[in-house]
Each structure stands twice: as C-alpha cells, then as structure tokens.
Structure 1
Amino acid sequence: MRRARILAVTETVLIVLGLVGFLVLLPHDIGGDASKRFEALSALIWHGRLIGNEYSLVGPLFATPLLLLGHWVGHEAAWTQEFNTLVFALGVYVSWRLLRGHLPGALLRRFFLVLIAGSMFAAHVTGFNAEVFTAMGVGVGLTAVAVRVGIALGWTAAVLGVVNTPAVALGLGLVVVRRGLETKRLRYGLVVLATAALILGESWLRRGSPFASGYEGNAGYRTIMPYSGLEGFSYPFLLGLLSLLLSFGKGLVFYAPGLLLPVRATMRRFPLSPDADLRRLYSWWLLFLAGLILIYSPWWAWYGGFTWGPRFLLFASLPASLALAVRLWDLAAPLWARLLTLGAWTLSCWVAVCAAAFTSAAFPDQCSRDTMAYEAFCHYTPEFSALWYPLVFHQGPSWRGWVAIGYIAVVFVYLAAPLVRSIAVDVAGPVRAALRGVSRGWRF
C-alpha cells in the first residue's frame, strides 16, 4: 500500500508538471484562422458588433474572461492565447472527477499522462483554434453521459463543442443514434434538434441567413494535384479517406497509433454505470471520430491547412490515449499485444516530442514556395512530414523544447518500464533455449 501511494503521488506530480509545462513552455500565439476568431470576439466585446466570418463564436465567447483580464493588464492577445491550454487542463480535471471510483486510479492517471506526453494535444493547445474546445467539450460531455453524472450538462457540453465546429455534427449524430438504439428512447433526438437550432441560429444572427455558413466559394490554390483549387466538398472521398488514415504527413495511423490496439475485451472489466462499461464510452468516442473522418474526407482542405498534423482529427487523441492507457495498465496481455503496445507508445511519445519541440516543422518553407505548388510534399512524403522533417533536416529544439523532451522522456520510461520488464521475462526463456540449441556441439 505504501508503494501504491508513492506511485500515485509520483504520477499525480507528473500530470501537474505536464499541465504547467503546456502553459509555460510551449510557444503560444494567435495566428492564421485563430486571428479571425480573436477579431470577432474583440469586436463583439468592445464594440458590440457581430462579424460574420466563417468561424463560430461559441468557443471564443468562453475566453471572454481572459480577454477582459488581458485588457486590464494591457496584453489582450497574450492572455487570450492561453485559452486552449486552460480548456485542456479543465477537461482533464473534470474527467478525473467523473471517472474516479469507476476506473482504477493507476489506469486513470495513465490515461492523463498519455494525453499529455503521448498525443497531438501539445501542438494544438498553443493557439486559439476551435479543435481543443470541441474535442474536450464532446469528450468530457460524453463521459458525463456514460457515467450518468450530470447527464444534462454532459449533453450540453457536447452540443456546445459541436456548435463550435459545425462540420462535426455528423459525429454527434452517430452517437445520438447509437444511444437511441441502446435505450429505445426517441428523446435523444432533442440533442440533434438543439445542435441544429444553435448552428442555424448563429448563422442567421451573424451572416443574415440560417443557411449561410461563411464557406461559400471557399477553395485552395491550384497546384499540380489533380483536385486542387476546387470549392467545398470536391475531393474524391476515397482519396481523402486514405489520406486522413495513411498519409505520412496527416495520417492517423502515425499520429494516433493507439487506435490500432485491441482493447475492448479488457474494457469490459470497468463498469461506468449500472448498464454500461468502459467499452460504451470508447465506442461513442470512436463513432464521433468516424463522423469526423466521413465529413472531412471529401473536404477540399481535408489536411487542415497550414497546421501541424491532422488538425481536424485532434479528437482522435482521446480514444487513442485511452486505448494506450488500458494496454499499458494490463501487463497480463498476450506477448504480441504487449509488443504492439510498446511500439504504439514509442511512436505516440515521438508524436508528442514533435508537437512540443518541433512545431516549426508543421509546414516547411519548401511546401509553400511558388504559391503552394509543392504543398502535397508535406502531406504525403515522410521527408517533409511534421514527424520526420526534424530528423531529415537536423532541426534543433530551443531550451524550452529540450525541457519538454526531457519531461516526455521521463513519462515514456516510467510507463514503458513495467511493460518492457514483462516482455523481457516472457522472452528470456525462449531466447536462452534457442541460444543453447545453437551453441550445442561447438568447441574451440
């Protein structure tokens, strides 16, 4: 029991240090699409004027206290750009309050450590884009529904997360249909109606029509890629699907390898409510992710634009991290599963290293030359992928990057050590037997 308490304290300290590191070590800024969100929020708060750009104001409105505080001290943008980091930290805390008592403490702490030191979040909490608010709102909201604590608030958080990024409504729709079939209740359709009403209402208020999304005529540059320069959902679905899953620069196989791990059987051990176990929450998260993949595969900018990794699929970090945590916790799994887990954990930590220390590799200069003529290199080739560009072109991190790398390395070793030890024990016998067989009969 004393050892368990020491481990619990150690893991809690690591989680807190990771959250503080997100706040003070990572290079926060408001640029690109985020600048339009900041502009719209500032115009509303200081001038009472609604700017009808294409981005929702739902998430930015929750950053109003930071904007006001920043105005008071004279640094509006500097304070507002911390919003996503605070949203992530709040999501971790609320998830802990919801899941404690349902999951073993060691497993729950592993989940948070993997989210911090082995996922894509480090690259996305630094800006003012919509993905973190949406991912945490939907992820935590569905968790509340699964454990049946604050169900109304849970659905509200999920709805607000979706309204903040209207394109992801399909994902929530799939979850609602699944929940309706599980309970045979029609009332869950109200979630869809509320989501649609808020999306259409915001469009009406800000753009003059409930059906004006702000994306009318939206398209990219015309390059050598055969489907470039077209508007809207013009990309061939199959090509977009393959790209989102398998491309070196944006593919989920490389950025969220935990999704490949077999975990459903193990998740049956953890009841979250009288009629559900951890598998239900995991399946809801996967359904929501499936909706994102389906809706973004035909979008002309399926890759997320000038950003690090698969920006639109940040939500994938939640189910991927949960799966990794379950596998890292279960040392009684078959040897092949533990070997697969070690590989996925190693790659996940490298993803976090690149997200925390090499964000400048998000879109190298070579990919933006000649009016984005070589843009596809960053999407498809390993040499220009955000995960491998730092190695190919020998990028060096800043001192803050080195601190982040050191933290991730400590978490990697801490969580990998029991797994490596169990693998070594299983492998040692057969290896010794093989060596004895090979060496038998040899002499000088």
Structure 2
Amino acid sequence: MEDLQAKDMPAEQALPYKRIQAIIETALIVIGLVAMTLLLNHGMYGDGKKRFLALTALLTHGDIKDGPYSQYSLIGPLFSIPFWYLGKWLSTPLQMISQYNQFVFACGLLCIYLLLKNRIDRHLLRKFLIILLAASMFSMNVTAYYGEVFTALLVGVGILALLLSSTSLVGWGAIIIGVANTPAALVGLICMIGKQLLDSKRLRYILIIVGAAGLIMAESWIRRGSPFASGYEHDSGAHTVMPYSGLVGFHYPFFFGLLSILFSFGKGIFFFAPGLLLPVRKTLLKIEKKEKLQLYRAYLLWIFFLVGLILIYSNWWSWYGGLYWGPRFFLIASLPASFALALRLHYKDSASLPINLLTLGILCLSFWIGLDGAVYSAQATAIPLCMVNSGRLELLCHYTPDFSALWYPFVQPQRLDQSRALYVVYWTFTFAYLLLPLLIKVIAQTGAFLKAFSTTHLDMGKWRI
C-alpha cells in the first residue's frame, strides 16, 4: 500500500514497488471521479437552480438585466453554456448541467497534477488528489450547481500557478475570474494580495484587486444598472429565537459570526476542514529547500484568502450559507486542509507519536466528512425539525451536534440505495489504503513509547515503600 519497506529496499527493488503504488493511486483517482459522476446524486436546487434559471433566461430570451435572479453572478455559469446546450440537445438540461461542477472539479485536479507533477514527490501529489476526492467537502459540493466550486478551484489552482513563472499570468487571470464569480471573495483577495505585497514589496499587485473589482462592477452595471448594486441590498433572513435573526445584509455581530463560522457543530470550518489544524510549516520549508518550489507561500496564500472570506462573512446575516450541507462559502479551506493532511501522511516516518496520533484522528474525521457529504448530505441537511415554520428552529442544525449535518446520520441511520452502497465500497478501499500505513506506524511508535515508559517508570526493582 504505502512505501513501508521501499526506503529500505535497493533501488532496483524499490522501483517496481513504487510503480505499483502509482498504479493503485492513479486508479483510485480515476475510479473516484467516475464514481462521483455516476453514483452520487447530482441535483438542481436552492441558489444553484436560480443560477440555472438566470442562465436559461439569458440563452433563450436574451434577458440579462434586472431579472428575478440578477443578484447571482453569471460569470461562473457562463462557462457551463456547453453543458446547457448539450442538455437541451439530449432533452435533459437539468441532468446535464448538474454535472458541471463535477467537470470543473476534474479539470481542477488535472491542473493541480500538471502544475506539480515534476516539482514535488508524485506519491505526495497523488495523496493530495485522493484526499480532495474522498475526504473533503468537495465530495458534496460537486453534486450541486452552486458557485463555490468554481470560485474555490479557480482561486486555489490559480495560486499554485503563481509558483511558476511560465503560468503566473494565467494564475492571476484565473484568480480574478474566480473572485468575480463570488463578489464577497474580493475581501479574500485583498487579504491575499496584502500578503503578496508584504513579501514582494511590489505595488503592481494592487492591479489584481482593481481587475477583480472592475469585473464585479461591470457585471453589476450590465445586469443591475449600477456598478454599486449588488442585488443583496434588502436581503435578510427569517426572525427566529436567535437574538440577531432577521437582520439585513452585513449587520450580524462580527464576534458571534466569527465564533459560529469557526466552531459551530453544524457549520464550523474546524469540523469540516480539520486538516487546517495540522502543523506543516517546517515540513513545507524543508521541501522548498529541496525542490526550489515555494509551496509554503502557496499554502499561506490559500490561508490568507480563507481568512478574508471569514472576515467578510462573519458580518453577514447568512454566515451559514442557508439550507446547505456544511460551510459552503469556505470550500477553499479544503485545499490547504487536504494538502496538510497529505503532507503529514507522507512524512509520517519522521513525525513524533503525538503528531501522528493527531494526523490519525484528522484522517478519520476527514474521510467521514467525505462520506457524509457524498452519501448522506440530503438526509443530513433537510432535517424536518430544522425546517419547520420557515426555519424557526434552524439554529439546532447550526449549533447542536445531534442535528449537525456531520453527525445526524448516526442519530437517524439511513438505508443506502445500490448506487451509494457502491460508492461506499470505493470509499472504504480508499480510506484503508491511506489509513493502514499510518496506523501501523502509530502502533509501532506506541509500542516503543510504552516499552520506554515501562523501563523508566515501572521497573519494580527501583520502587520503595
């Protein structure tokens, strides 16, 4: 499974072993993409359906101004026009376009591979891709037509493209388009560019902010009649028992929004992207010296962009993203979280027992996140009690573990259909492939620790009354 003995083998013996690893891991990636496409339930609902209706109005009637769904950006959906026409030709427009984010995700994985395949250990790279597939929030988000997958991947992959001089311009272009698709992400871009300015001491990077802001304002002007009209001016939620419910726009108390975004059981980033808690700085800096690739810079740019998103959404009344599985506004957190987890798995032999134990716990939680999102998301999101009386009790799904989208499948077990059961088979094999080598290492380290502890502290010959 993993290179448990490869490092002790002669080079001529280790090479076939590594080839077998490469074949298995590549198969897991390809099979995973096929399984997500064919076995998971792709649907059209919520904001995704409104984006689809706005795109349909544009393509069928030429309607682009002041429509009922004009607050939703059309920048991302415009790239799905081929899917719309193909669906129309096949008389299955909804089914076809609901696969769009799956296609974007597959393209994103391919771009990550092409950017990094000759610059970091390919075994590490394949681990990263496998975790994104089977153990991250992407497993659910690719099944809907929402805009977060487009933004997260264009920005996330664009940041990786910045590491190479040959692709940096393309990277900046992708980042600008991704941000324009989600106007609130402009704050994330500002934080990211702030980091870039401090590191490079080059003011020209401010032009990236200007470019993204200009594209956002241009769409607002074309579709809503003013460059400053967001379409959310009067947007608000229902009044519930929560003291600050029903507020309009960005008037939610920042402190409570921040706590909720980070730590709430149903929407908290640290529950849905636990890899963010793993220490990776020293490991990334060592890789930088060896490979001459600024991976730590990319990791920090991901984090700074995420911080900007947290800052802006902490003030919004709908910080939780509505009736949806997990913290959808912060999908980009899956990139640094998955990469950190892949790093810790790859360098487990040089890690201490506490670090490997932490990695083991986060690996298990991450794979459960991937399975829950892929297989149980519909049941774990549309919990009847949280939706009664126009969502008056939705706070239960946000703040309590019993009704959290992560843990509700244990409260109310669900029988799986054949398609989802087949996906569980793929998930189980993938989980075992990454789990067993780490588990073997942890058992060996634990045995060594217990032996040393007993020798030092439990030698009965040294004890006295």
- Shorter-chain TM-score range: over 0.9
Q: Is 1:323 matched with 2:340? A: yes
Question: What does residue 221 of structure 2 align with?
Answer: 204
Matched, 1:92 2:101: no
Per-residue deviation, 1:433: 6.2
Q: Distance in 1 between matches of 2:292 and 2:447?
A: 43
Q: Which residue of 2 aligns with 1:20?
A: 34
How far is the alpha carbon of 1:213 from its aligned partner? 0.4
In structure 1, the residue matched to 2:396 is 377
Q: After superposition, where does 1:254-265 map in structure 2 within 5 Å? A: 254-265=271-282
| Map of 2:59 onto structure 1 | 45
Q: After superposition, what is the alpha-carbon deviation per residue over 1:74-105, rounded to whole angstroms, capped at 9, x for unaligned?
A: 11111111000000000000110001111100
Equivalent runs, 1:250-399 vs 2, <5 Å = 250-271=267-288, 277-331=294-348, 332-360=350-378, 361-399=380-418
AA in 2 matched with 1:288: F
Quick check: 260-269 or 416-425, which moved more? Answer: 416-425
- Matched letter for residue 358 of structure 1: Y
Q: Which runs of 4+ in 1 moved over 4 A?
A: 272-276, 432-441
**CA distance in 2 between partners of 1:170 and 1:223 (Å):** 29
Instruction: Return 166-175 or 400-409, whichever deviates more.
Output: 400-409
Question: Given the two structures, how large is their TM-score scaled by the length of structure 2?
Answer: 0.92
Q: Which runs of 5+ in 1 are unaligned?
A: none
1:54–1:273 CA distance, 2 compared to 1 (3 A): farther
Give, in whole Å, the separation in 1 of the partners of 2:60 and 2:289.
45
Q: Which amino acid aligns with 1:404?
A: Y
* Matched position secondary structure for 1:269: helix
Once the two structures are superposed, what CA deviation does each residue of 1:340-394 show, in whole Å capped at 9, x if it has no partner?
Answer: 0000000000111110110121130110112211110000000000111110112
Structure 1 residue 273 displacement after superposition: 11
> How far apart, in 1, do the equivalents of 2:288 and 2:450 lie?
39
CA-CA distance at 1:277 after TM superposition: 1.9
CA contact (8 A) 1:147 1:273 kept: no
Percent identity, please: 46
Distance (whole Å) between structure 2 residues aligned to residue 307 and residue 274 of structure 1? 40
Once residues 4 and 350 of structure 1 are traced to their aligned partners in structure 2, the CA distance between those partners, rounded to angstroms, is: 28
Letter in 1 for 2:17: R
SS at the partner of 1:220? Answer: coil
How far the C-alpha of 1:434 sits from its partner, in A, is 6.1
Q: Supply the distance in 2 between the matched residues of 1:203 and 1:376 (Cα, whole angstroms).
A: 33
The equivalent residue for 1:242 is 259
Helix, strand or coil at the partner of 1:382? coil
State the match for 1:127 in structure 2.
144
* Equivalent residues of 1:363, 1:378 under 8 A apart: no
Determine if the alignment matches structure 1 residue 412 to structure 2 residue 431. Answer: yes
Matched residues in 2 for 1:29 and 1:269: separation? 43
Q: Distance in 2 between matches of 1:29 and 1:114?
A: 23
Q: TM-score scaled to structure 1, two decimals?
A: 0.96
CA distance in 2, matches of 1:406, 1:440: 50
Determine the C-alpha separation between the residues in 2 that align with 1:274 and 1:429: 33
- 1:399 Cα deviation (Å)? 2.1
Q: Secondary structure at the match of 2:286?
A: coil
Residues 92 and 273 of structure 1, relative CA distance in 2, 3 Å threshold: farther
Q: 2:43 aligns with which of 29, 35, 42?
A: 29
1:275 to 1:12, Cα distance in 2 relative to 1, 3 A = closer
Q: Distance in 1 between matches of 2:373 and 2:48?
A: 18
Contact 2:142-2:149 within 8 A present in 1 as well: yes
Contact 1:146 1:272 in 2 (8 A): no
1:225 aligns with 2:239: no
Contact 1:146–1:273 (Cα < 8 Å) also in 2:
no
Query: Which residue of structure 1 aligns with residue 23 of structure 2?
Result: 9
Aligned residue for 2:5? none
Whether contact under 8 Å (1:34, 1:129) holds in the other structure is yes
CA distance in 2: counterparts of 1:70 and 1:394, whole angstroms: 35
In terms of mean alpha carbon deviation, does 145-154 or 361-370 score higher? 145-154
Distance 1:399 1:265 in 2: 45
State the match for 1:56 in structure 2.
Answer: 73
> Displacement of 1:422 after TM fit?
1.3
Q: How far apart in 2 are the matches of 1:308 and 1:282?
A: 25
Greater shift, 369-378 or 399-408, is seen at: 399-408
CA distance in 2, matches of 1:273, 1:427: 31
Compared CA separation, residues 388 and 45, structure 1 to 2 (3 A): same
Task: Give the unaligned 5+ runs of structure 2.
Answer: 1-14
- The answer to whether structure 1 residue 77 and structure 2 residue 94 are counterparts is yes
CA distance in 2, matches of 1:406, 1:260: 29
| 1:200-253 deviation per Cα after TM superposition (whole angstroms, max 9, x unaligned) | 010000001111100011000001000001100121111111111111000111
Matched-pair contact (CA < 8 Å) for 1:363–1:386: no
CA contact (8 A) 1:240 1:302 kept: yes
Amino acid at match of 2:368: W
Aligned residues: 441
Contact kept in structure 2, 1:271 and 1:277, CA below 8 Å: yes
Q: Say if 1:235 and 1:425 are closer, same or farther in 2 by CA, change over 3 A.
A: same
Deviation at 1:274, TM superposition (A): 9.0
How well do the aligned residues superpose, as a CA RMSD in angstroms?
1.8
Moved more, 409-418 or 192-201: 409-418
Q: Which SS does the other structure have where 2:318 is aligned?
A: coil
Taking the aligned partners of 2:452 and 2:137, their CA distance within structure 1 comes to: 42
Give the match's secondary structure for 1:127.
coil
SS class of match (1:358): helix
Conserved? CA contact 2:240–2:246, under 8 Å: yes
The residue matched to 1:147 in structure 2 has which SS? coil
Retained in 2: the 8 A contact 1:59–1:164? yes
